[in-house]
């Protein structure tokens, strides 16, 4: 039985507790370079006992990887120097940190090269970009692997591959955006092939004990009721190849951690990922936020205030070993010391989330 304050070990990484800072895009890195303010933003949470920080999504070195301006890059001399400073500050504060490696795929909004997508189809089913060729696929896989090797060289404690929310890897996983008839399309195992090849390349590019996390979701940006897998059997078909390729920890991204994923079981997505693969799992979704808020689309949760609520059910699920780690987002934006308060049982002292905290990297 695991408690919130119990250590957790995966590969060569040991965390002092089960609290994770969730990746949250902040668009606060002009020119793609994370500055000193980013380093202090992350270090502040590390100093207040966050067990593991997963950075905001950071673009891999692929021309069509980006969708938004002022998101940090994971390539280029200046950006990597910025990330190296982030790592030093987080480690100096006693924390552990991994970058989230990101290619936005069908979510691309910027001018420039067309979106990289499996089948020339966007999240709404309309034509978008162009179908990736085998060379495009190989180049993208190489870019992920190169980024992972760079993360280890810079001193990060692991990596997370972003395979959720309607971005590139998720575009291959989802039958709506993947209509391919080659080995990357068709049944769940074939749709998982691209992601599995990314993981396999990442795994080969880093040391054996360097942990590889993988984020997966049902929902997509702007399509919150989407389902990549309609059943546990379909989900198993998608995630088994990923686990076999070398994923160490699955990160099941849901908007509300307390909601069941499939009928007949109270398990959420992370619970199912753990059950189906035997791998550790991270849960996430409105941790510490009042339940009745944000029952509409996901972005409304960032544009309006929300009161603080307890985490008794979350802790009970953790103790039942439905999942192994707990990722916290907005609550940590409002309260850099949220982890310390939670570990001391003092969340009654936490401040409610207000969107004004998004204005700076505080």
User: Residue 211's pLDDT band (boundaries 50, 70, 90)?
Assistant: very high
341, pLDDT greater than 90: yes
The three state secondary structure string of 293-313 is: CCCCCCCHHHHCCECECCCHH
164, pLDDT greater than 50: yes
Report the pLDDT value the prediction gives residue 260, as an integer from 0 to 100. Answer: 93
Report the DSSP beta bridge partners of residue 8. 15
What's the whole-number mean pLDDT along residues 292-300?
47
Report the pLDDT value the prediction gives residue 227, as an integer from 0 to 100. Answer: 96
Residues above pLDDT 70, as percent of the chain: 96
Report the pLDDT value the prediction gives residue 294, as an integer from 0 to 100. Answer: 45
Report the pLDDT value the prediction gives residue 151, as an integer from 0 to 100. Answer: 98
pLDDT tens sequence across 128-139? 999 999 999 999
Name which residue leads in pLDDT, 298 or 193.
193
Nearest to 88 by CA among 147, 45, 40: 40
Report the pLDDT value the prediction gives residue 321, as an integer from 0 to 100. Answer: 96
- Positions annotated as catalytic residues are 167
Q: In Å, what is the CA distance from 24 to each residue of 28, 107, 236, 264?
A: 11, 16, 27, 32
328, pLDDT greater than 60: yes
Report the pLDDT value the prediction gives residue 288, as an integer from 0 to 100. Answer: 87
pLDDT tens sequence across 80-133? 999 999 999 999 999 999 999 999 999 987 788 899 999 999 999 999 999 999
263, pLDDT greater than 50: yes
Report the pLDDT value the prediction gives residue 108, as an integer from 0 to 100. Answer: 85
Residues above pLDDT 90, as percent of the chain: 88
Report the pLDDT value the prediction gives residue 291, as an integer from 0 to 100. Answer: 62
- The span from the CA of 13 to the CA of 158, in Å, is 8
pLDDT tens sequence across 28-81? 999 999 999 999 999 999 999 999 999 999 999 999 999 999 999 999 999 999
Q: What does the DSSP assignment read for 105-152?
A: GGG--SSSSPPEESSSB-TTSSB-SEEPPHHHHHHHHHHHHHHHHHHH
Report the pLDDT value the prediction gives residue 297, as an integer from 0 to 100. Answer: 44
Nearest to 194 by CA among 211, 209, 210, 214: 214
Report the pLDDT value the prediction gives residue 304, as an integer from 0 to 100. Answer: 54
196, pLDDT greater than 60: yes
Report the pLDDT value the prediction gives residue 235, as an integer from 0 to 100. Answer: 98
Report the pLDDT value the prediction gives residue 303, as an integer from 0 to 100. Answer: 52
Q: How would you class 209 by CB atoms within 10 Å of its CB: exposed for 0-12, middle for 13-18, buried for 19 or more?
A: exposed
Least confident of 110-119, 141-150, 168-177, 234-243: 110-119
Report the pLDDT value the prediction gives residue 85, as an integer from 0 to 100. Answer: 98
Which DSSP helix (H) or strand (E) runs through 233?
helix 232-245
């Amino acid at each position: 039985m695991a408690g919130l304050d119990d250590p957790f070990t995966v590969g060569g990484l040991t965390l002092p507790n089960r609290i994770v800072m969730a990746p949250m895009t902040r668009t606060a890195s002009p020119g793609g370079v994370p500055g000193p303010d980013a380093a202090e933003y992350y270090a502040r949470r590390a100093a207040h006992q966050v067990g593991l920080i997963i950075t905001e999504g950071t673009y891999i070195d692929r021309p069509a990887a980006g969708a938004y301006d002022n998101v940090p890059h994971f390539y280029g001399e200046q950006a990597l120097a910025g990330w190296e400073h982030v790592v030093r500050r987080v480690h100096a504060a006693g924390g552990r940190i991994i970058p989230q490696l990101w290619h936005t795929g069908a979510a691309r909004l910027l001018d420039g090269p067309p979106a990289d997508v499996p089948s020339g189809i966007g999240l709404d089913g309309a034509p978008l970009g162009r179908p990736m060729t085998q060379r495009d696929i190989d180049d993208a896989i190489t870019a992920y692997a190169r980024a992972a090797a760079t993360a280890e060289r810079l001193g990060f404690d692991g990596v997370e591959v972003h395979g959720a929310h309607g971005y590139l890897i998720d575009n291959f996983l989802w039958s709506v955006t993947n209509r391919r008839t080659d080995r990357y399309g068709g049944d769940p195992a074939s749709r998982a092939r691209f992601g599995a090849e990314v993981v396999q390349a990442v795994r080969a590019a880093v040391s054996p004990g360097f942990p590889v996390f993988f984020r997966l979701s049902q929902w997509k940006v702007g399509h919150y009721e989407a389902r990549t897998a309609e059943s546990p059997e379909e989900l198993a078909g998608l995630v088994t190849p990923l686990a076999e390729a070398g994923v160490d920890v699955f990160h099941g991204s849901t908007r509300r951690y307390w909601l069941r994923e499939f009928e007949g079981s109270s398990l959420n997505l992370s619970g199912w990922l753990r059950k189906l693969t035997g791998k550790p799992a991270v849960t996430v979704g409105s941790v510490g936020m009042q339940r009745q808020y944000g029952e509409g689309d996901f972005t409304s949760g960032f544009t309006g205030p929300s009161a603080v609520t307890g985490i008794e059910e979350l802790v009970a699920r953790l103790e039942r070993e439905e999942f192994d780690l707990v990722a916290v987002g907005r609550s940590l934006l409002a309260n850099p010391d949220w982890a310390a308060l939670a570990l001391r049982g003092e969340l009654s002292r936490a401040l409610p989330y207000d969107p004004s905290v998004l204005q700076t990297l505080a």
